Amino acid sequence: MARHFLKLSDYTRDELDSLFRLTRELKEKQRKGVSHRLLDGKTVALIFEKSSTRTRVSFEVGVFQLGGHGLFISSGTSQMGRGEPIKDTARVMARYCDGVMIRTFGQEIVEEFAAYSTVPVINGLTDLFHPCQIMADLFTVIEAKGDYEGLTFAWVGDGNNMANTWIEAAAIFGFELRLACPQGYEPDRQVLAWARERGARLLLTTNPREAVRDADVLNTDVWASMGQEQEQAARAKAFAGYQLDEALLDDAKGNCMVLHCLPAHRGEEISDAVIEGPHSAVWDEAENRLHIQKAIMATLMG
């Protein structure tokens, strides 16, 4: 049976740590121009039901660097957009391709896709989780700080797919995670309950200052995610006071790092000064999507 990458909680800490090691190795090889064609002659379908810049480009480039071929498929121009059942698409794709990455809405869609797929399926973002992104983020932290162990992570903003995935990561890796979300915009209840049951060190507050106090890693994301565009105005009101700006940064550790998965809305969830400032690691973070996803694809499909 194929092994999939649908959410972090399907993996052990040891397995995810070994992905970080392979990522370091592949990044080094790519930098030095050393061949690493671990997917030689293989084809990976990249299915998008939502927009993307980083995920599309990093997967396409990644599979190419591994010696394979990435096939971009947008739901709007395929039969998926006309209602062909997920389970039918999944079985057909598996007859052509060696792996699939899918970006879609409900987590149940990737779960159903994977249940019918005989080749590995990777979650490229759902409304619930964004596991490739948090792996890239953690890899960026490891590169900058040497380890994630002993660090305090802060999340400021919406309790969205990114926040949910950070919660899974906190439970798996054991670091402290403090989340500041406005009332009514908290992370997923089931994910929180699962993490708390596993003994995750979580603090959930409505006060951004409490979350960032002496934190090592600060993280935020858009206030309205893809699919929530019509809530933009209401959300802008609800999230007033939740901007990751220089005043908030003053409460964190002097050598803190700032992450944002991008795309960013300067002047909303993050100030221009912070995203462009000395603590920002967002470009390394975006680059690391490429390297971590190569490790994930090579491990699952190689």
Which of 221, 268, 269, 285 lies at the binding interface for ligand NVA (CB under 6 A)?
A: 221
- Comparing CB distances to ligand NVA, the nearer of 123 and 225 is 225
Which of 202, 226, 236, 238 lies at the binding interface for ligand NVA (CB under 6 A)?
A: 226
Closest chain position to ligand NVA (CB): 225
Alpha helices in the chain (DSSP H): 13-32, 54-65, 86-96, 107-116, 131-145, 161-173, 189-197, 208-212, 232-238, 246-249, 272-275, 282-301
Binding positions for ligand CP, rule: CB under 6 A: 52-55, 125, 133, 261-262
205 Cβ contact partners less than 8 Å away, ≥ 6 residues apart: 178, 179, 180, 211
CB of 28 to ligand NVA, least distance (A): 27
Residue 221 binds which entry of ligand NVA, ligand CP, none, CB below 5-8 Å type-dependent: ligand NVA
Q: Is 261 in the site for ligand NVA (CB under 6 A)?
A: yes
Q: Is 104 in the site for ligand NVA (CB under 6 A)?
A: no
- As separate numbers, helices (DSSP H) first and strands (DSSP E) second, the chain gives 12, 9
- Comparing CB distances to ligand NVA, the nearer of 2 and 109 is 109
CB of 155 to ligand NVA, least distance (A): 12
Q: Is 222 in the site for ligand NVA (CB under 6 A)?
A: yes
- What are the beta bridge partners of residue 99? 44
Q: Is 58 in the site for ligand NVA (CB under 6 A)?
A: no
- What is the number of other CB atoms lying within 10 angstroms of the CB of residue 197? 9
What residues act catalytically? 103, 130, 133, 221, 261, 289
Measured CA angle at 51 (ends 6, 75), to 5 deg: 75
Q: Is 167 in the site for ligand NVA (CB under 6 A)?
A: no
CB of 234 to ligand NVA, least distance (A): 16
**Tokens 């949910």, residue located:** 164
**Tokens 């092994």, residue located:** 3
CB of 57 to ligand CP, least distance (A): 8
- Comparing CB distances to ligand CP, the nearer of 125 and 296 is 125
Binding mask 118-147 vs ligand NVA (x if CB under 6 A, - otherwise)?
A: -------x----------------------
Report the amino acid identity of residue 281: A
Residue 217 φ then ψ, to 5°: -130, 120
Q: Which stretch binds ligand NVA (CB under 6 A): 143-151, 156-164, 199-207, 239-247?
A: 156-164
Measured CA angle at 107 (ends 265, 263), to 5 deg: 15
C-alpha to C-alpha distance for 243 and 246, rounded to whole angstroms:
9
C-alpha to C-alpha distance for 41 and 98, rounded to whole angstroms:
10
Provide the binding-site residues for ligand NVA, judged by CB under 6 A: 125, 160-162, 221-222, 225-226, 261
